[in-house]
Homo-oligomer: A and B are copies of this chain.
Amino acid sequence: MTRILTDTPSLISYSAVGGRSEGEGPLGDYFDSINDDEYFGKDTYEQAESELQKEAVNIALEKAALKEKDIDIIIGGDLLNQCVATSFAHRDRAVSMLGIYSACSTFTEGLILSGIMTSEGYAKRAMNVTSSHYYSAERQYRMPIEYGGQRAPTTQRTVTASGAVICESSDKAPYLRGFTLGKIIDMGVDDAANMGAAMAPAAYDTINSFLKESGKGLDDFDNIITGDLGSIGSDILYKLFDMDGIDIRSKHLDCGKLIYDTERQDVHSGGSGCGCAASVCCGYILPKIQSGELQNVIIAATGALMSPTVSFQGESIPSISHLVWISHQRG
């Protein structure tokens, strides 16, 4: 489902917060804040992840000289069971809360809802925030880090990061121009240690839907950015487009590949998690669109919609990708 936003809301402020590994990565200097303590000063990894979200929201507010009361709604989600990182992060805020879940594509789903809410006047300002945390995710999805389990070369590292964006109908780049809400795609991949492979067909389907339904071409965009396909998923995406005679390699960036140095850092196929696309876009991509260095990009975050329970039951991995078109010009 592709739509153009009628009132073209602005992304008036945004922030990226990360952990130690993210700070040591190639984008380390682009984060607003890096915390070397994986606990973020708290007692548990779950509390640490909530702290990540709190900090991202607070920095985004500060950068826009806004207070919590200036926000009508927080739209957020994360990877933890029952999205507790999000709920606990904002339980003391007197702001309406809209909980969403779309695995690692939650960030763009939230941007889409922020855009609709502000474009149509339901909210003056909407805050979109997502997060993930390596330690809370590992012990929930796989094994506690302390166990020292060996990871397959196809795996991706869940990033410890959060990104927050404030959306408002305003006259300031970057602008949220349109979106595609993706369909669930399940090509039968059942290897939970190779989520890039499971998600690549969803990214392909959503990017194609957007181009077809918006009447745009690849030439209209400086970059085609995916959420967290990693090295393996990105290669599959190239091959899917190759079959249509389209080479997207020169325009393509993947947040999961950008956030780490896969040669130097022990991250296998790259980064993933609700905080991956969020922090890379908020720290690295949106500033370039704001400055005009990039004029038009599409960001197709990708999510693998499985749980450990259904993986144990031998199920394949349904995947989804939600896309946003962000522009330096209002259009």
Contact = CB atoms under 8 A, between A and B. Distances in A.
A264 B47 CA distance: 42
Contacts of A92: 186
Nearest to A105: B99
A82 interface: yes
Given A100-B99, A116-B122, A122-B116, A84 B181 contact: no
Number of this chain's copies in the complex:
2
A64 interface: no
A98 to B, nearest CB: 6
A109 interface: yes
Nearest to A181: B96
Interface string A52-84: 000000000000000000001100010111111
Contacts of A84: 305-307, 309-310
A98 B100 CA distance: 8
A318 B91 contact: yes
Contact of A81 (B1, B96, B184, B307): B307
A84 B90 CA distance: 24
Contact of A82 (B99, B184, B186, B307): B307
Given A1-B123, A116-B120, 8 more contacts: A1-B72, A1-B122, A81-B81, A84-B306, A87-B184, A87-B306, A92-B186, A116-B117
